[in-house]
Amino acid sequence: MKKTGTTRLRQLKNINVPIQDGIKKHMLCQNCENLFSIHEKWFCEKIFLPFLKDNSLNIQNTENLKYFIISILWRVVKYFKDDGNKYNFKSDLDRAENIWKNYLLHDNIVSEYENIHLILVDNSNFPNKETDLYFSRAVDIDIAENENMCFVYAKFSKFILIGEIKGFENKSFEKTNISLEKKFSSSNQIINDTTVFDFFKNRINQTKSYSDLSESQKKKNNEYHKNRYQNYTDGEYLKILNKHK
């Protein structure tokens, strides 16, 4: 994503703190880091970069893809589930974390919490800059829940990952389930669950802009980007800003 934007990523919850790619909390041994890195490199070269160039591409469902997706969602649930929040479905989150871990490390079959979705975002005509930037550029991770539903969420660039924990109807998603589909296309995927749409709306509303930065962070930001503008002119971020002028 850094190659297609301004190289600095920010979390939704703390706009004044730039972040690097990924979760920094130490949770993997060196062998596991190496194993995950192999799949991350594969995803970047075979899926991520080709899809950004052509959003009409069909993505074949392979074991490499499944492994990469579950590795991301496992890290998200591991990162958040013991963060002090009183999750309604804490026991399910604990169990999902363990089942996904055993798949990643021991190749165990994922027999529970197997409804995991890959949602692709195409170059749609989004209604405003905030929506466009969120679905095209934002990096976002969380555990989302209410009294009836819980899911693990990860989003980066034009890829959305959702791991069902509890409460979804059978027809909540169409053509997105990594346990069922042979290939994925942005042209035929459907989200039917209104709660998921409300979640997206909420995340978009939380997206912060330059005007929300502190004055000190604005100064640092201007200095950082002052001599780099020429490198950004072909990037997607500025294309989105120009489109919504």
pLDDT in tens, 117-131: 999 999 777 888 889
8, pLDDT greater than 90: no
175: left (phi over 0), alpha (psi -120 to 50) or beta: left
Q: How confident is the model at residue 39, as a pLDDT?
A: 95
pLDDT confidence of residue 219: 66
- In this model, does residue 144 exceed pLDDT 90? yes
Q: What is the pLDDT of residues 57-68, one digit of tens each?
A: 999 999 999 999
**Confidence band (pLDDT; 50, 70, 90) for 191?**
very high
Task: Flag whether pLDDT at 173 surpasses 90.
Answer: yes
What is the pLDDT of the chain when averaged over all its residues?
82
Average pLDDT over residues 90-116: 96
Phi-psi region of 84 (alpha: psi -120 to 50; beta: other; left: phi over 0): left
Q: What is the spatial distance between Cα 224 and Cα 192, in angstroms, rounded to a whole number?
A: 42
Contact 191, 119 (CB under 8 A): yes
- How many Å apart are CA 32 and CA 43, to the nearest integer? 17
